[in-house]
Structure 1
Amino acid sequence: MSPTSKSQLNRAEDNAAGGVTAISPVPLHTQIREVLRRQILDGTYPPHSQMPSESQMMNSFGVSRITIRQALGDLQKEGLIFKVMGKGSFVAKPKAFQSLSRLQGFGEAMSPSGYETYSLLLSAREVEASAVVAQRFSIKPGAQVFEIQRLRYLNREPISVDVSYFPVEIGRRLVQEDLAARDIFVILENDFGLNLTHADLQLEAICADESLARHLDIAEGAPLLRMERMTYAGETPVDFEFLYYRGDAFQYRLRIDRT
């Protein structure tokens, strides 16, 4: 075992001795799960580090293998760890998340948390509106709209493919801007003087096709979160988007109140 692993295990043993007891009405595997969860969240076990083996944890906690496996199974269901056949358990990388309680661009939402974001422009062109796009903009199918496709990066890893549609006059202006470093929402408000007021959106889970998988560096068929969002300036639709996020690296969060 490496010196780092020994240090981590020593800290686990210290916590185990002070926090796990058979006298408690809380099941042992639940107590152990909570000890391990705290150590993952406080950085004792950083992302991608290997957890102690089942045998090591059996000794440090003084419990059976089945109890350890129950605790690890719970952590795996929560997405805090993942298992590699023949190698053991590893700490999962925390997913980035965006709150849906505010209308924000991707960069706006990620920057306060210290994430680095930028975009790669894949294409920008005038196209004929599909039936879906035409319906959202209340125009005839086949009418001209401006399509912008971008590959979004988070901490230098591809995180989403954004396919956005705009009225032609807005789209032509947008491609003159720095779309690699700036959020389109910020450009629309600060540069174009549009007052973005609200958005209609829906979420669904899909599987990555060949093109999305290639751009996002994932396997074809891997899970994606797809957001369909129409953003308005007043009551005028100005930005209709399909946002495809990697399911293994990103999540949306929403707080709702019961009144």
Structure 2
Amino acid sequence: MQFRDTLRARILQGELAVGSKLPTEAEFGEQFGISRIVVREALADLVRSGLIYKIRGQGAFVAARERDEDFVSTVLGFSDEMARKGRTVRTQVLQQELRAPTEHEVQMLTLGADAQVVALRRLRSVDGELQLLVTTAVPADLAPGLHRTRLENRSLYDVLRRQYGMRIVKAERWIDAVLPDAASRELLGVAADEPLLRIESIAYGANGRPLEYYEALHRCQASRLHVKTTT
């Protein structure tokens, strides 16, 4: 893990250029004082996460930074999907409170007149790069105390599953391109003319009730959203 994380950091920080050939397993083993088996396992992890690729008979190379992300086409949360690919997600909680829903949240979550929501605003990075600004609303009656639960660097979906027994079985999502406002640009560190993908999502439980609504601003310069469809 130490070798893998060291190599990942060197790639993400640009010390190893896109397209450059990596040392052989034997050379890495000698350089770091580890076995070829350990090197091979670490390189396999980096292949799965899309940071490097291998060509038979030629070796391993640093991949282009564009990566596919599948979370928009699954009921997995963003953290869960990134973890499955061996990528590191960090979450900064900017807002976490119990409040009355907005008119839009009432509509999307089909809430009653006196309902409250747990409102979250989180800034999320992947492998050290800022990538998502997410505003989330969860019906408060489904998750009592969620507004006091520590969510820094945690998966919200994992908390909802473990702590509240909430199981998401389907979701609707809408995607369009937007230019972010000044506050969002500053948080994500983007230029004024950099377009973002806006993702709106409603997640549902087995009984058909909406469990969560979110709106996410997604930086797409170094990744693509990947959607699978079936007949």
Alpha-carbon distance, 1:104 to partner: 0.8
Q: What's the RMSD between the two structures over aligned residues? A: 2.7
Shift in CA distance, 118/175, structure 1 to aligned 2, threshold 3 Å = farther
How many residue pairs get matched? 179
Which of 143, 166, 173 is matched with 1:194 structurally? 166
Cα displacement (A) at 1:146: 2.2
Q: Name the amino acid aligned to 1:246.
A: R
Matches within 5 A, 1:1-259: 42=54, 46=62, 92-139=64-111, 144-170=116-142, 172-234=144-206, 235-257=208-230, 259=231
Counterpart-to-counterpart distance in 2, 1:217 and 1:145? 29
Give distance in 1, aligned partners of 2:99 and 2:149: 20
Distance 1:223 1:100 in 2: 18
In structure 2, give the amino acid aligned to 1:249: A
Deviations for 1:111-151, whole angstroms, at most 9, x for unmatched residues?
A: 12221112000011233322221111223578532210000
Matched AA of 2:189: D
- Which whole-Å CA distance do the structure 2 matches of 1:128 and 1:221 have between them? 34
Q: Whose Rg is larger?
A: 1
Give me the TM-score of the superposition, normalised by structure 2: 0.68
Which runs of no fewer than 5 residues in structure 2 stay unpaired?
Answer: 1-15, 22-51
Larger relative contact order (Cα-Cα within 8 Å, sequence gap ≥ 6) = 2
- Residue by residue over 1:168-205, the C-alpha shift from the partner in whole angstroms, topping out at 9 and shown as x without a partner, is 24455223333122211111112211222111111111
What's the TM-score, normalizing by structure 1?
A: 0.61
Say if 1:129 and 1:176 are closer, same or farther in 2 by CA, change over 3 A.
Answer: closer
Percent same amino acid at aligned positions? Answer: 21
Partner of 2:11: none
